[in-house]
Structure formats: structure tokens, C-alpha cells
Amino acid sequence: MSWSEIQPLLFQGFWDTLYMVGWSTLIALVGGLPIGVLLVLTDKGGMLHNALVNKVVGAIVNVGRSLPFIILLIALIPFTRFVVGQSVGSTAAVVPLAIGAIPFFARLVETAIREVDRGLVEAVQAMGGGTPTVVFKALLPQALPSLVAGLTTTVIVLIGYSAMAGTVGGGGLGSVAVQYGYQRFETSVMIATVVALIVIVTVVQIIGDAVVRLLAAGREGAAAGREGSAAGRGAAADGGAGKRLARLGRGRGVALAAAVVLPLALIGYGIGQSGGDKQTLRIAASPTPHAEILEYVEKNLAEKEGIDLDIRKFNDYVVPNTATESGEVDANFFQHKPYLDDFNNKNDTHIVPVVNVELEPLGLYSKKVGSLRGLGSGDTVAVPNDSTNEGRALHLLAKHGLIELKPGAGQEATLGDIADKKGLTFKELEAAAVPRALDDVDAAVVNGNYAVDADLNPAKDALAAEKVEGNPYANFLAVKDGEQDDPRIRKLAKLLNSPQVEEFIEKKYKGAIEPAFGHVGS
Amino acid sequence: MITTTDLTKVYRTPGREVTALDGVDLHVGEGEVFGVVGQSGAGKSSLIRCVNLLERPTSGTVTVDGQELTALAGSGKRAGKELRRARARIGMVFQHFNLLSSRTVLGNVELPLEILGHSGHERTRKAHELLELVGLGEHAKVHPAQLSGGQKQRVGIARALAGDPKVLLSDEATSALDPETTRSVLQLLRDLKEQLGLTVLLITHEMEVVKAVCDSAALMKSGRITESGTVPELLATPGSELARELFPVGGTPSADDRTVVDVTFHGETTTEPVISKLSRTYNVDISILGAAMDTVAGKQVGRMRIELPGSFDDNVVPIGFLREQGLTVDVADVAPVAAEPQDNAGLVKEGAK
């Protein structure tokens, strides 16, 4: 990709990252600070010693910290929808990010406050100060530099976490790197985003360190040496000390201004984003080829029909459906019938297909052998690990005589449904990861879109590939039941089955992806 | 002003109990500077923290300025409102100053005034006044880290005085300071006591502190007070360990058949030529083995170790003469070979055989 193509991706990713990290940091600060303080106060020997509260809060924090972030991201979807009214997009990503960061920051707060000399607590108590006085006049001001350092660390961890926000369509630099760099083999994008991330992390660290230094100015012994001699010289004329204090005040002002302006800018950005146009159709799609086909429609055909598309890219197969069900997007385009049936069944959703668009023929690829005959006993074959793709892969293998399935094995066949493996060993991998495994296995069954991304061509490179005719795995435009007759949806359906789109698919994917128009069979 | 009765403090940890205070009865009179001395671990620190209830005693009562603090509500580490108000009227000074590095010197002195709810302008005025009082008027705007140890403790004292206390508690206030600074800080305490009519309870492990500022003193050993009284009383008490610690005199007798006597002079006797009188009256040769002279609470006090020829029985009369002169006389059982304390003397003799 050229720089002019990369630049808007980077810019958008940068803003998404800033938006997600900014908000989640703010929430982590507000949530983590009291929890951290509570952990110290209720601990043994603390001012509000309470073993039960301490243990319970400590346990919650530990659970929060031990959950892998990606699991938290998915597990929190219902909660996220409850809180922000949607489960996809940057704002939705803020919720799991913040909840993941709160326990992390709380522990850092706890550590920072424990470092405060107990003698200070005693001194404030001896003056007649109660617990709030101790917390607000002694513990927090004394721990402030450590707290800022902790917050800096939290921001950086959040930047890392936000890379996973692509799962819920949150965007951000990390997800650009995954989408384009990892899945589409666009090394230049990957390098550009990684460099951008390094720059951001470095800048955050530098700012954090500067604020810490500013706050610690005059407090520490090392600074005291320098400042002390200055005080000695300026002792006669008190103006010296006064000026120094004024300088410190200005520095604090700048830090404070930054702390206020930055979140405000983010809020503004958030409002700007959320104010969407009612006429716009929001469509969730996999990046390749679905989003590319939609982008073609958006650029070349949509305007004439008077519709406006808002294409949202997802790497995940669950969120686009849940988002369609909840109405956060108007339609989605990424799946086939067996997957949708299975999904509706298991999740009690009501998504219906509108019109078939294309088929990504599943193909068997190999870097080790040149034909099907080269495969046999002792060889290893990688297959996708999700229920429908795995079944589809096994049926493809069975059709070509590489294995034998048990009679009655359905579309969701698993390794357990194989009657005769004929000496083959199987490796089950996430669909997106299968093409990457080609160097390590003898052959692999790869989804069409991932094959295209990995520079494989189903028409030329596949040892065996699915046929278009009568294939239930054609991908279609889908909506929530009841929305099929929305005039905008009908227009879009028409456009997706237009001769222009057929030509676009054939030209662009050269047989790797094939047009498969028409009504979706049951 | 401060009275504790049968104060005990037991620290319980799983499988272990440590008795820090074991029935302490203490009485500090109004306007007095009272020093509690003892080695570390003797319970001094627990005692002073029990006085303002930073530590809640296991049993016993604490009364400060007529108010029984132990009767005030508060559970565990949490102090009730009444107790907090009472604490605000008791100043406390700490060994490691315990100043907030996040605040300026002025800010530190203002802190107790904030707790007392004084208005901003009033706080600043009073804090400046207090800083002038401790001689740090021009350092108001610097941070504590830029001050020397002695200056920091002056800030600590100014802060302790912010609530107009009648009582000042000093927890090893000079232990982290060098001797010269210690003297100036003690002088300040003494001056403030006179100026403000403070009652001061201080704990220390340094006899110098007692010598320099205390009117009264108590010795603490394993959670108990073993000796207590005004400094002149203690010096007049034969066998007083505190008196001996206050004025240690060394010196070993020149031969076995000598009687060693420690004589303490105080009050008028310091100006009397008792030793030469003794020598002339009884025609004995007196050797001075060691002597110390000092000023305690503004009065001259001296201690001298002398040697008389012959055994104790031979010297009953001269010793009686010394007692008649109003001196405190202790017959020291010191071995001629080494200047070891009495307990070890026997062992040394054993070894010599």
C-alpha cells in the first residue's frame, strides 16, 4: 500500500486509539483511585481495618486482573450495551478497556499509597485529623508523583489493550495493524502502525515523567541540594524563592490545562462521532472481501441510488450479528447460511438473509505437495476450528477422498465425525491463522478471504476447491427480521447483485472469490 | 496535667503476645517538663502514643487536663469526634519530624489549623506567627526537604503548637539530630515552655536531654516505671540508677583495701568545701577518682568518686560526716582491677585467682 492509502488509516486509527484510551484512562482513574485507597485503609493495621471488605475487594481486583482482556471484551458485551447503549465501536470498546484498567490502576494506587511514611498518618491523627483528612491531606498529596507514574503505566497498558478493540469494531492503531498487517499481509501498514504506537507510547511516557518530575520538584533530597543552595543565596532577598514558586505554579498550570483540555477534546470528538446521519446505512462487514465490495458500491453506485453507507469492519464473527440484532448496525455482510442458522439457534437472534453476493470457495492448499495424490498417511492437515468452517473443510476433504465421514455427519461435522482418517493428523486453528500455518503443515484448508489475503488463489493454487453451484456457503447481506423491506436495504441488495459488482468481483479477485448472486436458499 | 493509672498495652499477634506497658502509673504536673528515659524496647514509645490514644491502651486510664481520654468514644484505630478534638489540643513532635514533603513549611504548619477549621487568612497569619516563634520566619515558602534536620524539627514544633496546646508530647524529638542542634532545639523547647506555660512529656534514650530540659524524670524498663521523681529528688536518692546514669563517674581504686564513695552535690552543698573539711577533720588522705559537674534545670549539680584508705568499717565515721553535710553518698563496690559495674566484679575476681 502506498503512503496516501496508509495515511488515512493511520489518522483514523490514531484518533480511535486516543479516544478509547483517553476515556478509559479517565474512568480507570475515577474508579481505581478509591478502590486502591480502600485496599490500604481496610488492610491490617489500616485506619478502617476490615478484613472482610479487604478480602472481598482484593479478590474482585484479582479476578479482574487475571481475566485475559480478550475474554473480558466479549464477556462484557451485554454490560457494555446496557451502559453505553451499543456493543460495537470505539465508545463500546471504552467499557471493557476501563473495566480492565480499573483493577490494574487500583493495585498501582495501593502500592503508591503504601509507600507513604506511616509517620505522616500518625502526625495527622495526632493533630486530630480523621480518616478523610488523612486520605486527602496526607496520603494522596504525598503519593501524587507515584500516582501519576502509575497512571502513565496504565495509559500505556491501555494502548496495548486497545489493539484488541478491533474485535468489537473499536478501531484504533492496534487493530489497523492486525487487520492490514497480520491478516492482509500489508507489511508496510504493520510497520507504520507499530512505529506510530511506539511514538505514542514514548510521548506518553515522556509527558508522564515530566509531570512526575514537576510534582516532585523541591520535595526530594536530591533536588534539595540544588534548591537548598539556591535558597541560601536567595535567603536575604526572599524574591528568589517567590519566583521559583511562581515558576512551579506555572508548570502546574500547564499540566492542569493539559489534563483538562485533552479529555474535553476527546469528548468533543466522541460527540462528533456519535451524531450519525439517519439516512446512513450502517453495515458490519469482514474487511476482505466484504468491506471492499461495499466500498466499491459506496464509491461508484450508492450515490446514484441516494443511499449512504457507513461500513464498519470487524475481524470477529459474533459481534456483527449481535450488533445487527440490537440495531446498532442496520445490516451485516460476512456470513453464510449454515453459520447464520447455527448462530440464530444458539443465541436466540433473528437475523435473516437478504441476498447472496459472493462465495469464497474453501480450498485445500499445500506448500509441500503439488497435488492431492501427494497427501497420505502420516501427513498433517490444518483446518479452521470454528464449527461451520471445520465441517465445511471436512466435507471438502471427504469429497476428494482424503477422509471418510461417518454416515449422517452434518454440516457441523467435527474431527469426531470422521470414520477413517486414512492416516492423516489434524491441527485445528482459528480460521484467520490457518494460512500462516502452511509452512508448518503438509496441507491446510483455508477460507477464501484469508487465502486471498495470504496471496493464494483458489482458482490456481488450490489442490481442491469448492464449487459455486448449489453451495450453501455463499455470503449474503443480512438484516434483523423485519428490516428486509427497508427501501435502503432493497436498494443496497439490488446494487450488490448488479452487473457492475459482478464485474468488480471477477476482475479484482480473479476467481479467488466468485459472484454468487440471487436469493438465499433455505 | 497528665495522669495515667495502671496503663497496660499488650500487642497480640497470632501465637505471640508482647506486653509493651505493664501497669504504668505516671503523673506529670502542670508546667513541668517530664522526661521518660529507657532503652529501646522499654515501652516509651507505646507510653507516649497511649497518652493521646494513637494507641488504645489494653487497660488503664489516661487523663489529660482533667479529661479522661480513655473514656472517649472511638473504635480500634478510628477516633471519635471528641477524641479528635482532644488530640487537637495536645501537640506532638516526632523523631523523624513527619513533615509532608508535598507542602511548604507554611503549609505544614497550616495543616492542623485546617483540621481545626480556621479560615484561610487566619491560618496563614497564625502559621507565620508560629514560624516566627521558632525562628523560621523567612523559610515559610520553601519545602521541608530544603531545610536542615534542626530546622525541620523547629517546623515540627511550630506545627505542634498550632492548636494552642497545653500539653506537648515529644517522641525522641532530638534523637535524629547532632549534639549541637539537639541543644538548640532543647533550648527552644525550654523557652517555649516558659513562654507558653506548656506541660511537656518527652521520651528519650539520651540522658543529655533529661539533663538539659527536664524538671522530672522517670526510668522505664520492660514496660514498667522503675524510678520516678523530680531531678533533685532523684539525685538525692541513694542508689538511684537514673542519678548514676545522669552523672556517670568513673575511676578505679588504687589498691584492695580502699573504700570507694560516690558523692552527689546539689543545692547549697555545691559551694561548700566539704572534701577539704573532711580531710582536715579526720586527717585522712582523699584521692579523687573521677568527677562531673553540670547544670540541671538551671541548678548546679556535681558528682564525685573519692577513695578513702582502709575498709568500709574503718570509714563509717567520715562517711557519716559527708551525709551530715547534706550530700548523697553511695558506697560503690568497685574492684580495683577493672572499672566494671558491680555485677561483673565478682566474675573478674574469680578470673584473677
pLDDT digit string, tens, across residues A16-50: 899 999 999 999 999 999 999 999 999 988 888 88
Alpha helix locations (H) across chain B? 44-51, 81-88, 105-116, 120-133, 149-160, 179-196, 207-213, 231-236, 241-246, 274-282, 316-324, 342-352
Q: What is the pLDDT of residue A225?
A: 39
Name every chain A residue with its beta carbon within 8 A of the beta carbon of B102: 141-142, 144, 219
Sign of the Cα pseudo-torsion (B173, B177, B183, B184, in order): negative
Do B217 and B275 sit in the same domain of this protein?
A: no
What are the residues whose beta carbons fall under 8 Å from the beta carbon of A476, sequence distance 6 or more?
A: A333, A335, A336, A337, A353, A354, A355, A356, A357, A520
Min distance B225 CA to chain A CA atoms (Å): 24
Mean pLDDT of the region A7-11: 83
**What whole-number distance in Å separates Cα of residue A287 and Cα of residue A179?**
7
Kindly list the domain boundaries of chain A, sorted by start residue: 3-216, 280-361+472-518, 363-465
Residue with cell 459472493: A358
Among candidate residues A519, A422, A417, A511, the one with its CA nearest the CA of residue A474: A519
B301 with B158, same domain?
Answer: no
In chain A, what residues touch B79 (CB-CB under 8 Å)? 125, 130
Q: Rounded to an integer, what distance in angstroms lies between the CA atom of residue A486 and that of residue A282? A: 13
Mean pLDDT of A270-292: 70
The least confident of A246-255, A306-315, B205-214 is A246-255
Pick the residue with more confidence: B12 or A522? B12
Instruction: Return left, alpha or beta for A423; rule: phi > 0 is left, psi -120 to 50 is alpha, else beta.
Output: left
Question: Residue B98: which of A46, A123, A133 has the nearest Cβ?
Answer: A123
- Residue B242 inside a domain? The answer is no
To the nearest whole angstrom, how far is the Cα of A259 from the nearest Cα of chain B?
Answer: 20
Residue B176, amino acid? A
Q: Do B141 and A242 touch (CB under 8 A)?
A: yes
Fold category of A3-216 in CATH: MetI-like fold (1.10.3720)
| Nearby residues of B155 by Cβ (< 8 Å), 6 or more positions away | B97, B99, B105, B108, B109, B131, B134, B136, B144, B147
**Same domain (yes/no): B326, B230:** no
**Residue B190's closest CA among B48, B346, B295?**
B295
Do A3-216 and A280-361+472-518 agree at the fold level?
A: no
Give the residue from chain A lying closest to B148, CA to CA. Answer: A228
| Cβ count within 10 A of residue A227 | 21
- pLDDT confidence of A167, banded at 50, 70, 90? low
Q: B-chain residues within 8 Å CB-CB of A231?
A: 139, 142, 146
Q: Are B102 and A141 inside 8 Å of each other by CB? A: yes
With b meaning 16 or more CB within 10 Å and e meaning fewer, what string describes B320-338? ebbeebebbbbebebbbee
User: How distant is the Cα of B7 from the closest Cα of chain A, in angstroms?
Assistant: 20
Residue B253 lies in a domain: yes
Q: Are A287 and A179 in contact (CB under 8 A)?
A: yes
A125 touches chain B (CB under 8 A): yes
Residue A349: pLDDT over 80: yes
Same domain, B209 and B302: no
Listed residues B168, B203, B236: the one ending a domain = B236
**Nearest CB neighbour to A128, from listed B85, B142, B159:** B85
Chain A to chain B Cβ contacts (< 8 Å): 103
Is the CB of residue A44 less than 8 Å from the CB of residue A71?
no
Cβ–Cβ of B98/A120 closer than 8 Å?
A: yes
My answer on whether B27 and B103 are in the same domain is yes
- State whether residue A418 is helix, strand or coil: strand
| pLDDT tier for residue A119 given thresholds of 50, 70 and 90 | very high
CATH number at residue B7: 3.40.50.300
Of the residues B98, B99, B170, the best mutation for testing chain A's interface (the one with the most A CB atoms within 10 Å of its CB) is: B98
CA distances from A367 to A442, A445, A453, A461, A462 (A): 7, 12, 16, 10, 10
Provide the residue type at A388 as one letter: T
Residue A201, classified by CB atoms within 10 Å of its CB into exposed (0-12), middle (13-18) or buried (19+), is middle
Of B54, B77, B102, the CB nearest to A126: B54
Q: Let me know whether B135 and B160 are in one domain.
A: yes
Say if B96 is an interface residue toward chain A (CB within 8 Å): yes
Q: Rounded CA gap, B307 and B339, in Å?
A: 14
Gap between the Cα atoms of A325 and A328, Å rounded: 8
Decide which of A454 and B195 is more confident. B195
- pLDDT attached to residue A228: 38
Of B36, B158, B53, the C-alpha closest to B97 is B158
Q: Which of B211, B236, B261 is the last residue of a domain?
A: B236
On whether the CB atoms of residues B94 and A124 are closer than 8 A, the answer is no
Residue B119 domain-assigned (yes or no): yes
pLDDT (0 to 100) of residue B298 = 67
CA nearest to B53 within chain A: A126
Question: Shortest CB distance from B138 goes to which of A129, A221, A235?
Answer: A235
- Output the nine-digit C-alpha cell for A100: 480492565
CATH number at residue B282: 3.30.70.260
Check whether A463 has a pLDDT greater than 50: yes
What's the pTM value of the predicted model, to 2 decimals?
A: 0.69
Say yes or no: B232 and B253 in one domain.
Answer: no
H or E element, residue A75: helix A69-75
Name the residue with higher pLDDT: A106 or B322. Answer: A106
pLDDT tier at A522 (50, 70, 90 boundaries)?
low
Q: Do B285 and B279 touch, CB atoms closer than 8 A?
A: yes
Q: Which of B98, B141, B163 sits opposite A119 (nearest CB)?
A: B98
Q: Report the amino acid identity of residue B327.
A: L
Grid cell in block for residue A81: 450495551
pLDDT of residue B340: 43
In the prediction, which pLDDT does A252 show? 55
Taking only the tens of pLDDT, chain B with its 353 residues reads: 999 999 999 988 888 888 999 999 999 999 999 999 988 888 999 999 999 898 889 999 999 999 999 888 665 556 788 899 899 899 999 999 999 999 999 999 999 999 999 998 999 999 999 999 999 989 999 999 999 999 999 999 999 999 999 999 999 999 889 989 999 999 999 999 999 999 999 999 988 888 888 999 999 999 999 999 988 888 878 778 888 887 777 777 777 778 888 888 876 666 778 888 888 888 888 888 888 877 766 677 788 888 888 888 888 888 888 888 888 888 877 766 544 444 443 333 333 33
B177 touches chain A (CB under 8 A): no
Q: Which residues of B touch A127 (CB under 8 A)?
A: 87-88, 92, 111-112, 115, 159, 162-163
Does residue B262 sit in the same domain as residue B215?
no
Which position has the grid cell 452434518?
A: A410
Superfamily of structural domain A363-465: Periplasmic binding protein-like II (3.40.190.10)
Q: Do A48 and B78 make contact, defined as CB atoms within 8 angstroms?
A: yes
Q: Which of A99, A69, A103 is nearest to A84 (CA)?
A: A99
pLDDT at A512: 74
Residues 244-303 of A with CB under 8 A from B: 245
State which H helix or E strand residue A402 sits in.
none
- Chain B 106-135, residues with CB within 8 Å of chain A CB atoms: 111-112, 114-116
pLDDT score of A477 more than 80: yes
Domain that holds residue B147: 2-236
Q: Taking CA atoms, what residue in A is nearest to B96?
A: A119
Q: Is A348 strand, coil or helix?
A: coil
Give the pLDDT of residue A133: 92
Phi and psi torsions of B6, nearest 5°: 45, 50
Within 10 angstroms of residue A3's Cβ, the number of other Cβ atoms is 9
Pick the residue with more confidence: A516 or A510?
Answer: A516
Shortest Cα distance, chain B CAs vs residue A129, angstroms: 6
A124/B111 Cβ within 8 A: yes
* Contact list, B78 vs chain A (CB under 8 Å): 47-48, 130-131
Beta bridge mates, B302: B265, B293
Q: What is the total count of domains within chain B?
A: 2
User: Looking up cell 534539595, which residue turns up?
Assistant: A224
Name residues 55-74 of chain B within 8 A of A (Cβ). Answer: none
Q: Identify whether the C-beta of residue B85 lies closer than 8 Å to the C-beta of residue B77.
A: no
Q: Does B312 touch chain A (CB under 8 A)?
A: no
Looking at the fold, whether B141 and B289 belong to one and the same domain comes out as: no
3-state DSSP assignment of residue A154: helix
B100 with A141: Cβ contact below 8 A:
yes
CATH level 3 topology of A280-361+472-518: D-Maltodextrin-Binding Protein; domain 2 (3.40.190)
Q: Whole-angstrom Cα distance, residue B63 to residue B77?
A: 19
User: Which of chain A's residues have a Cβ under 8 Å away from the Cβ of B116?
Assistant: 128
Distance CA(A491)–CA(B138), nearest Å, equals 81
A53 touches chain B (CB under 8 A): no
B-chain CB neighbours of A46 within 8 Å are 77
Q: Which of A507, A512, A502 is nearest to A453 (CA)?
A: A512
Strands B224-230 and B59-64: unpaired
Residues B338 and B216 both lie in one domain: no
Please indicate, yes or no, whether residues B78 and B15 belong to a single structural domain of this protein.
yes
What is the chain B residue with the closest CA to A49?
B77
Domain boundary among B213, B236, B259: B236
Per-residue pLDDT band for A271 (boundaries 50, 70, 90) equals very low
Report yes or no: B54 at the A interface, CB cutoff 8 Å.
Answer: yes
Residues of chain A with C-beta less than 8 angstroms from the C-beta of B104:
245
Higher pLDDT, B232 or A113: A113
Rounded to whole angstroms, the Cα distance separating B78 from B239 reads 44
Place of cell 517538663: B33
In this structure, of A259-263, A510-514, B8-12, the range with the lowest mean pLDDT score is A259-263
* A51 interfaces chain B, CB cutoff of 8 Å: no
- Sequence-ordered list of residues with C-beta below 8 angstroms from that of B312, at least 6 positions apart, any chain: B259, B331
pLDDT (0 to 100) of residue A264: 53
Q: How confident is the model at residue A273 (pLDDT cuts 50, 70, 90)?
A: very low
Instruction: Kindly state whether residue B287 falls inside one of the protein's structural domains.
Output: yes
Q: Give the span between the Cα atoms of B252 and B255, in whole angstroms.
A: 9
- A contacts of B146 (beta carbons < 8 Å): 218, 224, 227-228, 231
Instruction: Check if the beta carbon of residue B35 is closer than 8 Å to that of residue B203.
Output: yes
In a domain, B241, yes or no: no
Average pLDDT value over all residues in chain A:
82
Q: A141-167 b/e with 16+ CB inside 10 Å = b?
A: bbbbbbbbbbbbbbbbbbbebbbbbbb
Check whether residue B226 and residue B264 sit in a common domain: no
Task: Tell which residue, A98, A79, A90, A65, has the closest CA to residue A14.
Answer: A90
* Residue among B72, B75, B77 nearest A42 (CA): B77
What are the phi and psi torsion angles at B165 (to 5°)? Answer: -75, 155
- Inside any domain, residue B269: yes
Facing residue for A221 by CB, picked from B86, B111, B145: B145
**For residue range A184-229, what is the model confidence (pLDDT) as tens digits?**
667 788 888 888 888 999 999 999 999 998 888 777 654 333 333 3
* A380-384 sheet: strands from edge to edge: A425-429, A380-384, A443-446, A363-365, A464-465
Give residues with Cβ within 8 angstroms of A221, minimum separation 6.
B145
Give Dmax (Cα) for chain B.
79
